[in-house]
Amino acid sequence: MSAEAKPIGPLSATVHGSFKRRRGPDALTMLTIYLVLLMGFPSNLTIAVLGAYGRPQFLFGLCLLVWWVISRLQARTFAVRPVFQPVRLAIGAFVVVALLSFAHAMLRGQPFDQISPSISALARLFSGTGVLLVAMDGLRTMQDVVAMTRRIAIGGGLLAALGIVQFFTKSPVIDFLNSLPGFTGFAAGGDARAGFIRSAATATHPLEYATALSAALPLAIATAMSPSVGIAVRGRLRWWLPVALIAMASFLAVSRSALIGFAVAVVAIIPALPRKYRLSLAIGGVAIAGVAVIAVPGLFGTTVGMFTGAADDPSALSRQAGIAIAPVFISASPLLGAGIGTFLPRYYIFDDQWLQLTVDVGILGAVTFAGLFLAGIWSAINAGHQSQREDVRLIGRALAASTVTVAIVFAFFDGFAFPISAGLVFLLIGLCAAIRTVGAADADAAKHKRAVVRPDEDD
């Protein structure tokens, strides 16, 4: 009598180097295309005939959702042992609450001009969910996870480089893309503060740009320090370039949020680094800040003034007023909110994604969204606890640091209203779940090895 075949699980990090990729598009390729559209293509450009639904990264996210659904419906030729994913439960809960909020709002009746934004917001949520699910279930080896984190680090470095060029040339640089046939919008955002250009690179707004830099920084640092496969010790030196570019761009962003995000990212990643690197990283950050201050006269005074004069700053005052007035809007529908996407800027602009979310989808929505962040952070850290490999621990903690950074920066602007910041949230949390898969596989492999070498108790 033949024994039943044991279900296989994800590949452990110890064997990922020998994994042979199948022909055709895979999750890593598809997510890389999404990342290029997200960070490399100007967020303000949309396909003219599709209006609010015309952003390429949004459309590709929906394609990823359809691709994931089709892959789940296909019959498998072998059994795959599932790994418990808190992120799966958290994203499911958040989507359910968003759908209930949408239904509740539509049943109450809405002005005509609020229905379309609500549908659009729900569609953007589905697009981001597709990205998260493909990252979580499609990246099954450490090789894939490392490759994706490297690409985010490279994307952050290139975004920073473009922002630095914009700062010194006082030009969008990419405005020639405005003439792309079939597209409408402007190829670059940005504004000025105290005589300095606030760069936005390919982002819609400088705060969106700052969020992308802050989110990429821990991954860039981890990539430069990681002993992962494919990076020789002396070859890792070039991976410090994205770190330096992101640090320089953060100091030149002329933005409190950029500096706060940079500080949070560094503080969050430092505990994950070997002790011998921590002091060097701090000294390097101070050195880059010094170079920026020396190279740009007046930058130091402007930067200090942004914090010392925060009490009288219009944006800070607006956030304080938002905290005071938010309970009035929340009280109308505390649990499910006004309805996802129905609270338009004409009512109030909170400049705080957490407050905006609480008004939009209620307390349940805010709690489940916070649960999604917590599930991702826990999954990434847990992967390091389960695996004995240094690269799994470092990349896992870096992903957790990036997720923490975005969660905090979201308190300074409505991040879901901007494509890059919203897209990175779902991609990062999906990667947190993916590395948990690898960590669980490593734990299984270690357990199996111990079981094999353990002496027979009857001897």
**pLDDT, tens digit (0-9, with 9 covering 90-100), for 422-455:** 999 999 999 999 999 998 888 777 776 654 444 4
Neighbours of 330 (CB within 10 A): 18
Note the helical H segments in 387-459.
Answer: 390-409, 419-453
Best mean pLDDT range from 133-147, 219-233, 235-249, 365-379? 365-379
Q: 162-176 pLDDT, tens per residue?
A: 999 998 888 888 888
Residue 122 · residue 341 · CB < 8 Å: yes
pLDDT of res. 44: 86
Residue 58 lies in a domain: yes
| Position 132 confidence tier, pLDDT thresholds 50, 70, 90 | very high
Rg (CA), the chain: 23
Range of weakest confidence among 17-31, 50-64, 202-216, 319-333: 17-31
Domain count, the chain: 1
Range of weakest confidence among 4-13, 232-241, 261-270: 4-13
46 forms beta bridges with 184
The C-alpha atoms of residue 244 and residue 213 are separated, in whole angstroms, by 11
Cα 45 versus chain centre, distance: 21
Residue 261 lies in a domain: yes
Tell me what the mean pLDDT of segment 204-229 comes to. Answer: 86
The C-alpha atoms of residue 262 and residue 267 are separated, in whole angstroms, by 9
Between 21 and 135, the higher pLDDT residue = 135
Residue 2 lies in a domain: no
The C-alpha atoms of residue 334 and residue 355 are separated, in whole angstroms, by 12
Range of weakest confidence among 143-147, 318-322, 444-448: 444-448
3-state class (DSSP) for residue 79: coil
Residue 21 lies in a domain: no
pLDDT of res. 459: 42
Residue 145 lies in a domain: yes
Burial 272-291 (b: 16+ CB within 10 A, else e): bbeeeeeeebeeebeebbee
pLDDT of 146 above 70: yes
Between 90 and 52, the higher pLDDT residue = 90
Between 303 and 419, the higher pLDDT residue = 419
Q: Is the pTM of this model over 0.85?
A: yes
Nearest to 437 by CA among 168, 83, 169: 83
Residue 391 lies in a domain: yes
The C-alpha atoms of residue 326 and residue 320 are separated, in whole angstroms, by 10
3-state class (DSSP) for residue 197: strand
Structural domain range at position 277: 26-73+91-441
The backbone region for 341, taken as left when phi is positive above 0, alpha when psi lies in -120 to 50, beta otherwise, is left
Q: 338-348 pLDDT, tens per residue?
A: 999 888 888 88
pLDDT of res. 374: 97
Tell me what the mean pLDDT of segment 34-47 comes to. Answer: 92
8 forms beta bridges with 80
Give the CA count within 13 Å in the CB-facing half-sphere of 286.
6
The C-alpha atoms of residue 107 and residue 295 are separated, in whole angstroms, by 58
Average pLDDT of the chain is 83
The C-alpha atoms of residue 261 and residue 206 are separated, in whole angstroms, by 13
Tell me what the mean pLDDT of segment 152-157 comes to. Answer: 95
pLDDT of res. 236: 64
pLDDT of 412 above 50: yes
Tell me what the mean pLDDT of segment 206-220 comes to. Answer: 93
Residue 158 · residue 28 · CB < 8 Å: no
Q: 178-193 pLDDT, tens per residue?
A: 888 888 887 776 676 6
Range of weakest confidence among 213-217, 249-253, 293-297, 370-374: 293-297
Residue 211 lies in a domain: yes
Nearest to 405 by CA among 44, 97, 129, 152: 152
